[in-house]
């Protein structure tokens, strides 16, 4: 199941794609990692999906990542007494703490933290931004607003606050329960919604206790203002363009997508581009030309992964959507312009041994026209630093840890192989060449470059580069795992 593209595909599971046969087809079509949306999934169903994915993984012998996406706080209006109302431009409308049903003049806002945080001049967006209000008078129990853009309003419509920093956690009680259930089940990534600050990510990590990696969803303007701190605290980013486009001017989203992609790459952390990438394929077997261009743009930018939401979860053409995304990725990466763009965006190496080694490995491999870069990695850090370089040659990560292989399923260009740890450096070099030969990355007599940390099996010690010839052995020798002696 070697992929012919470097960018990874993240497919959301749902009613259209929850059975074993469909998940298998999605994987064969190109999905590298699967997303389970806890907004619509019970704990029992989540466990069932995880087990199904693990069964598919076992049958193909290739690590498959699983991402659980937490719902996050849902801010909504209360109820209206006589059905939907019509808010007119210029009218006054009050949001308050009174629990009585609302009317044309007021409605209950069941979130005291919003009323406490609102300031005069703050915008309130209702129903995915269709209605816009501006706060004119604020107190702890009511906010008087002016309707800037009116429209129809009904029970429990969503509320977004692009100008207001809410003093609340990114996780609700439901999220905490979902998170604990997911970690106990053995998932690989947790996508954290409603992130406003780095402390939100740190709170989630305290709960996770190393059992999964954290992907911060960037969907709020407050997160943009603290982006570097959030990147530093997170293991990966998701550019949640749908919600971001509700709370910010739409014309800003493309440039923010580019900025976040480059900042994440500079930090050596995966970045996923999400929302509405092939949305027309929910009901159509082919995408629009604009959607194809949108997906291609994410590939040209060097994003680690591109995501399907409703297209694969509830659409009529789930497998076709993955296959289409796969073909777009392959075609873009064949374009000679692609390599020029990727190279032009390459960040300077950080002042660490790992970055220096990764940069040198990429330069040597491209200068000598080597067949592949082979990374021996225990924690995945070596592969992450090499992937940051966006090398022209394939990158193969060999790890004794299946959890590391699953985590790397979202990382650009990394083909992960789970194998027993090497006994010593000679064994490491021999087996790297054999695995490269077996999986079709190199032919007999060609050369590969091997990157690793010595002592073997010690996370974060990337400090060795070796050039090795690939022998004719078609099957990598199996070795018993043993503790490596320091050199």
For range 127-144, the mean pLDDT? 96
Cα 151 from chain centre:
34
| Rounded distance between C-alpha atoms, residue 272 and residue 411, angstroms | 9
Instruction: Decide which of 160, 192, 227 is a domain's last residue.
Output: 160
Instruction: Out of 164, 275, 382, 462, pick the active-site residue.
Output: 275
Determine, yes or no, domain membership for 229. yes
Inter-residue contact 366 to 392 (CB < 8 Å): yes
Question: Which residues have CB under 8 Å from 474's CB, separation 6+?
Answer: 437, 438
Question: Quick check: 29 pLDDT over 60?
Answer: yes
Inter-residue contact 434 to 398 (CB < 8 Å): no
CATH number, domain of 416, equals: 3.40.1380.20
272 and 399 together in one domain? no
Tokens of 425: 């450096």
Reported confidence tier of residue 377, pLDDT bands at 50, 70, 90: very high
256 and 324 together in one domain? yes
User: Has 217 been annotated as catalytic?
Assistant: yes
Question: Quick check: 187 pLDDT over 50?
Answer: yes
Question: Quick check: 420 pLDDT over 50?
Answer: yes
CATH number, domain of 90, equals: 2.40.33.10
Determine, yes or no, domain membership for 346. no
User: Has 334 been annotated as catalytic?
Assistant: no
335 and 378 together in one domain? no
For range 414-434, the mean pLDDT? 92
Reported confidence tier of residue 73, pLDDT bands at 50, 70, 90: very high
Instruction: Decide which of 160, 180, 195 is a domain's last residue.
Output: 160
- pLDDT tens digits, residue range 428-478? 999 999 999 999 999 999 999 999 887 776 676 778 899 999 976 544 444
The least confident of 223-232, 349-358, 472-481 is 472-481
Reported confidence tier of residue 354, pLDDT bands at 50, 70, 90: confident
Determine, yes or no, domain membership for 479. no
For range 81-106, the mean pLDDT? 96
117 and 238 together in one domain? no
* Percent of the chain whose predicted confidence (pLDDT) is above 90: 90
64 and 195 together in one domain? yes
125 and 269 together in one domain? no
390 and 464 together in one domain? yes
Predicted local distance difference test score (pLDDT) of residue 484: 35
Q: Give the dihedral of Cα atoms 437, 31, 214, 403; nearest 10 deg.
A: -40
306 and 270 together in one domain? yes
| Rounded distance between C-alpha atoms, residue 456 and residue 4, angstroms | 30
Instruction: Out of 5, 6, 8, 35, pick the active-site residue.
Output: 35
Determine, yes or no, domain membership for 278. yes
* pTM for this predicted structure: 0.92
Question: Quick check: 323 pLDDT over 80?
Answer: yes
Burial class of residue 337 (count of CB atoms within 10 Å of its CB; 0-12, 13-18, 19+): exposed
CATH number, domain of 39, equals: 3.20.20.60
Determine, yes or no, domain membership for 376. yes
For range 79-95, the mean pLDDT? 97
Inter-residue contact 85 to 206 (CB < 8 Å): no
Question: Quick check: 274 pLDDT over 60?
Answer: yes
Predicted local distance difference test score (pLDDT) of residue 472: 62
Inter-residue contact 451 to 373 (CB < 8 Å): yes
Determine, yes or no, domain membership for 215. yes
| Rounded distance between C-alpha atoms, residue 202 and residue 233, angstroms | 7
| Rounded distance between C-alpha atoms, residue 159 and residue 157, angstroms | 7
Closest of 351, 402, 409, 364 to residue 383, by C-alpha: 409
202 and 274 together in one domain? yes
Predicted local distance difference test score (pLDDT) of residue 475: 43
For range 118-129, the mean pLDDT? 96
Considering its fold, how many domains does the chain have in total? 3
313 and 191 together in one domain? yes
The least confident of 98-112, 140-154, 347-361 is 347-361
Determine, yes or no, domain membership for 217. yes
The least confident of 142-146, 223-227, 323-327, 345-349 is 345-349
Which residue is listed with tokens 């206790």? 209
Instruction: Out of 5, 8, 132, 217, pick the active-site residue.
Output: 217
Question: Quick check: 115 pLDDT over 70?
Answer: yes
Mean pLDDT score across all residues of the chain: 93
Predicted local distance difference test score (pLDDT) of residue 424: 87
Instruction: Out of 47, 76, 130, 174, pick the active-site residue.
Output: 76
199 and 333 together in one domain? yes
Determine, yes or no, domain membership for 20. yes
User: Has 172 been annotated as catalytic?
Assistant: no
**DSSP state letter for 458:** -
258 and 403 together in one domain? no
Cα 482 from chain centre:
34
User: Domain range for residue 13?
Assistant: 8-72+170-340
Predicted local distance difference test score (pLDDT) of residue 2: 86
């Amino acid at each position: 199941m070697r992929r012919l593209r470097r960018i990874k595909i993240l497919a959301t599971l749902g009613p259209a794609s929850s059975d074993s046969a469909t998940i298998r087809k999605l994987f064969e079509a190109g999905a590298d990692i699967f997303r389970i949306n806890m907004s619509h999934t019970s704990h029992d169903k989540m466990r069932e999906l995880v087990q199904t994915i693990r069964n598919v993984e076992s049958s193909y012998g290739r690590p498959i990542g699983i991402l659980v996406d937490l719902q996050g706080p849902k801010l909504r209006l209360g109820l209206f007494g006589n059905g939907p109302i019509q808010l007119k431009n210029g009218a006054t409308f009050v949001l308050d703490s009174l629990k009585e049903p609302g009317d044309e003049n007021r409605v209950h806002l069941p979130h005291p933290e919003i009323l406490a945080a609102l300031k005069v001049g703050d915008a309130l967006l209702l129903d995915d931004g269709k209605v816009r209000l501006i706060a004119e008078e604020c107190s702890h129990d009511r906010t008087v607003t002016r309707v800037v853009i009116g429209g129809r309003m009904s029970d429990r419509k969503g509320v977004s606050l692009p100008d207001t920093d809410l003093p609340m956690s990114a996780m609700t009680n439901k999220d905490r329960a979902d998170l604990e259930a997911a970690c106990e089940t053995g998932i690989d990534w947790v996508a954290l919604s409603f992130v406003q600050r780095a402390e939100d990510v740190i709170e989630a990590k305290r709960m996770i206790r190393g059992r999964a990696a954290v992907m911060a969803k960037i969907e709020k303007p407050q997160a943009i203002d603290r982006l570097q701190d959030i990147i530093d605290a997170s293991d990966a980013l998701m550019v949640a363009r749908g919600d971001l486009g509700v709370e910010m001017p739409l014309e800003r989203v493309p440039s923010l997508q580019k900025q976040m992609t480059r900042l994440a790459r500079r930090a050596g952390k995966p970045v996923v581009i999400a929302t509405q990438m092939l949305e027309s394929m929910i009901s159509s077997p082919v995408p629009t030309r604009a959607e194809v261009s949108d997906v291609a743009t994410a590939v040209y930018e060097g994003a680690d992964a591109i995501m399907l939401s409703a297209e694969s979860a509830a659409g009529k053409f789930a497998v076709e959507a993955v296959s289409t995304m796969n073909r777009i990725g392959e075609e873009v990466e064949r374009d000679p312009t692609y390599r020029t763009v990727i190279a032009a965006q390459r960040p300077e190496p950080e002042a660490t041994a790992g970055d220096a080694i990764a940069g040198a490995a990429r330069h040597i491999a491209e200068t000598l026209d080597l067949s592949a870069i082979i990374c021996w990695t225990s924690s995945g850090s070596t592969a992450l630093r090499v992937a940051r370089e966006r090398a022209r040659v394939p990158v193969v990560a060999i790890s004794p840890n299946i959890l590391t292989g699953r985590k790397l399923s979202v990382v650009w260009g990394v083909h992960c192989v789970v194998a027993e740890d090497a006994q010593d450096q000679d064994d490491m070099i021999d087996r790297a060449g054999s695995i490269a030969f077996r999986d079709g990355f190199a032919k007999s007599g060609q050369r590969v470059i091997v990157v690793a940390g010595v002592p073997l099996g010690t996370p974060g010690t990337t400090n060795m580069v070796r050039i090795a010839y690939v022998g004719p052995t078609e099957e990598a020798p199996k070795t018993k795992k043993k503790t490596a002696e320091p050199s």
